[in-house]
């Protein structure tokens, strides 16, 4: 019995019933990684002995009668931005190449406690700065639907691992769309929880007021189960919300939109959007209406300013956070031959250790925070952020959730936008407002674009701490579309084992 294409929920049932051990499941997924990851390049680090030792420990815990979590025995791919004391954490940067953290991130620890088996660390845009996973110091990851295309970013290694059946689940982080956008272009479910709903302790910081860990999976229920497994208050994170985790699993199982008020964001659509993306989005909206939802158009007038505001706020926070990589305490050190000052060593290390996109954002942020420019740039961007949050508040007085395309286009060719930062940044046009406001948002597959037969995502946005609403709507869309398609969208993907031969 192969476990490779089973959902996480199905694997958990097999483990709980004793039909399959964690070790058996892990071995099959390690075999899949060996078979396809040479071409997909989703993983940066896989230690098979470590994986099997984890799985054997979970099997021993079950044999001893220990009470384990609902996802016990299930393998997971872990984005290389979470600290792991038994594996390197590099953030896909040369400046941290080979660094072994002395502690686990809270989410890493919660995964282990719940009995999940961490398969390895996945590739990403360096320090989570990018939308294509091309900014990795260790090379790009490829989209399993078409190996010439990007898998999204910054969590592109995680999305590719799940979409290529190397792992049933993955972690990601979403600062401006870095879970939802890669999920959309690889045909997955990707969730950005309410900011503060998932711990940032042990997540190497990019933009502290925006970074949000979340789940990536092949089904809405799997994403909800993972969301519930690692979320909740963490006293080690000063921004963590001390409130119960919303009932996301219950909502995913409910999958009903009867009577819900759904708002279509007027500002998302039109010029710059791929026709096939808009066609699938409109069909999804019509589907929701046929399922009993009331659909209305809602205007959020300041959403058009979200992108420029984000690209002042995020780089400013990045400039502050990345100052810690100074060659003095850990990581790369260049030019320390006894003749240079500490300042010279820092400069040489940063010049060699940081990639072009990271340097670009550090310089943008440093400029925006500099004397004489702070009020004009960073301060003004924060005012725009407030207006965007007010747009959400006004919208949620009229409707229960908002919907939009997740991305304006499907996956684009590797290298196509590498020399055009503005074109790259537009990939996050629809996702950034929810990061600025801190509310919950999910992407769920809604079909394939006519032009290229690549996946399209539907984004569902809900108020702060109403994460369960996004799962409820996403699950209803998923159930109805799978009935129409005769199975999951990923079943329509090319056979990767054939593609990589």
Is residue 354 a part of any domain in this protein? Answer: no
Pick from 37, 36, 13, 35: nearest CA to 25? 13
User: pLDDT tens digits for 410-454?
Assistant: 999 999 998 898 899 999 999 999 999 999 999 999 999 999 999
| Cα 431 to Cα 171, 248, 375, 424, 480, distances in angstroms | 18, 20, 26, 13, 24
pLDDT given for residue 270 in this prediction = 83
Is residue 309 a part of any domain in this protein? Answer: no
Is residue 137 a part of any domain in this protein? Answer: yes
CATH code at position 297: 3.90.1300.10
Give the whole-angstrom CA distance, residue 407 versus residue 404.
9
Q: What are the start-end ranges of the H helices in 173-274?
A: 180-186, 220-230, 248-254
User: Could you tell me the strand order of the sheet in which 455-462 lies?
Assistant: 43-45, 117-122, 75-79, 169-173, 213-217, 189-192, 440-448, 455-462, 401-405, 261-265, 294-298
User: pLDDT tens digits for 97-128?
Assistant: 999 999 999 999 999 999 999 999 999 999 99
Residue % of the chain over a pLDDT of 90: 95
Is residue 358 a part of any domain in this protein? Answer: no
Strands (E), 354-420: 401-405
Q: Which residues are catalytic?
A: 79, 154, 178
* Cβ contact 75:226 at 8 Å: no
The sign of the CA dihedral 415, 420, 424, 430 is: negative
Q: What is the mean pLDDT of residues 297-310?
A: 97
Helix (H, G, I), strand (E, B) or coil at 73: coil
Which burial class, exposed, middle or buried, applies to 266 when counting CB atoms under 10 A from its CB (0-12, 13-18, 19+)?
middle
Helix (H) or strand (E) holding 349: helix 342-353
Angle between helices 220-230 and 467-485 (to 10 degrees): 150
Q: Which residues contact 491 (CB under 8 A, 6 or more apart)?
A: 485
pLDDT given for residue 447 in this prediction = 98
- DSSP string for residues in 122-163: E--SGGG--SSS-S-TT----BTTBTTB---SSSHHHHHHHH
Averaged pLDDT of the chain: 96
Model confidence at 501, pLDDT cuts 50, 70, 90, reads very low
Residue 338: CB atoms within 10 A of its CB come to 4
Is residue 205 a part of any domain in this protein? Answer: yes
Is residue 477 a part of any domain in this protein? Answer: yes
Q: What is the mean pLDDT of residues 3-10?
A: 97
Here the tokens at position 484 are 């129409």
User: pLDDT tens digits for 329-376?
Assistant: 889 999 999 899 999 999 999 999 999 999 999 999 999 999 889 999
Give the whole-angstrom CA distance, residue 448 versus residue 455.
5
Range of the domain at 240: 8-303+386-499
Domain count, the chain: 1
Q: Which residues contact 141 (CB under 8 A, 6 or more apart)?
A: 40, 41, 42, 122, 123, 133, 150, 151, 156, 157, 160
Residue 464: CB atoms within 10 A of its CB come to 18
Return the percent helix, strand and coil in the chain, to nearest 5: 45, 15, 45
Is residue 175 a part of any domain in this protein? Answer: yes
Give the whole-angstrom CA distance, residue 325 versus residue 59.
40
Is residue 341 a part of any domain in this protein? Answer: no
């Amino acid at each position: 019995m192969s476990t490779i294409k089973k959902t996480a929920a199905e694997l958990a049932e097999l483990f709980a019933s004793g039909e399959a051990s964690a070790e058996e499941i892990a071995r099959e997924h390690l075999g899949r990684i060996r078979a396809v990851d040479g071409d997909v390049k989703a993983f940066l680090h896989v230690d098979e002995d470590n994986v099997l030792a984890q799985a054997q420990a979970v099997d021993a815990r079950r044999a001893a009668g220990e009470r384990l979590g609902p996802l016990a025995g299930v393998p997971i791919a872990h984005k290389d931005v979470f600290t792991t004391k038994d594996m390197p954490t590099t953030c896909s940067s040369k400046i941290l190449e080979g660094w072994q953290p002395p502690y686990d991130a809270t989410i890493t620890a919660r995964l282990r406690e719940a009995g999940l088996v961490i398969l390895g660390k996945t590739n990403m845009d360096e320090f989570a700065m990018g939308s294509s996973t091309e900014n990795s110091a260790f090379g790009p990851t490829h989209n399993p639907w078409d190996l010439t295309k990007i898998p999204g970013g910054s969590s592109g290694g995680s999305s590719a691992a799940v979409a290529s059946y190397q792992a049933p689940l993955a972690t990601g982080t979403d600062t401006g769309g870095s879970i939802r956008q890669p999920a959309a272009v690889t045909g997955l479910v990707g969730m950005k929880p309410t900011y503060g709903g998932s711990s940032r302790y042990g997540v190497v910081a990019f933009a502290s007021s925006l970074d949000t860990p979340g789940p990536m999976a092949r089904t809405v229920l799997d994403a909800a189960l993972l969301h519930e497994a690692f979320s909740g208050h963490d006293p080690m994170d000063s921004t963590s919300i001390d409130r119960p985790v919303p009932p996301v699993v219950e909502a995913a199982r409910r999958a009903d939109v009867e009577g819900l008020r759904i708002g279509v964001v007027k500002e998302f659509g039109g010029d710059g959007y791929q026709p096939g993306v808009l066609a699938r989005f409109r069909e999804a909206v019509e589907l929701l209406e046929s399922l009993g939802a009331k659909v209305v158009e809602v205007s959020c007038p300041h959403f058009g300013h979200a992108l420029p505001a984000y690209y002042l706020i995020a780089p400013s926070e990045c400039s502050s956070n990345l100052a810690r990589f100074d060659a003095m305490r850990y990581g790369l050190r260049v030019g320390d031959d006894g003749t240079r000052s500490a300042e010279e060593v820092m400069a040489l290390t940063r010049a060699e250790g940081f990639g072009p996109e990271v340097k670009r954002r550090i310089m943008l942020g440093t400029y925006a925070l500099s004397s004489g420019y702070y009020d004009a740039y960073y301060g003004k961007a924060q005012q725009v952020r407030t207006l965007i949050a007010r747009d959400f508040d006004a919208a949620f007085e009229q409707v229960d959730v908002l919907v939009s395309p997740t991305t304006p286009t499907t996956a684009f060719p590797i290298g196509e936008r590498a020399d055009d930062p503005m074109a790259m940044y537009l990939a996050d046009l629809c996702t950034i407002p929810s990061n600025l406001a801190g509310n919950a948002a999910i992407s769920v597959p809604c079909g394939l674009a006519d032009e290229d037969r690549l996946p399209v995502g539907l984004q569902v946005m809900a108020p702060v701490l109403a994460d369960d609403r996004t799962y409820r709507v996403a699950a209803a869309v998923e159930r109805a579309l799978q009935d129409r398609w005769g199975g999951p969208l990923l079943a329509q993907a090319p056979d990767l084992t054939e593609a990589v031969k």
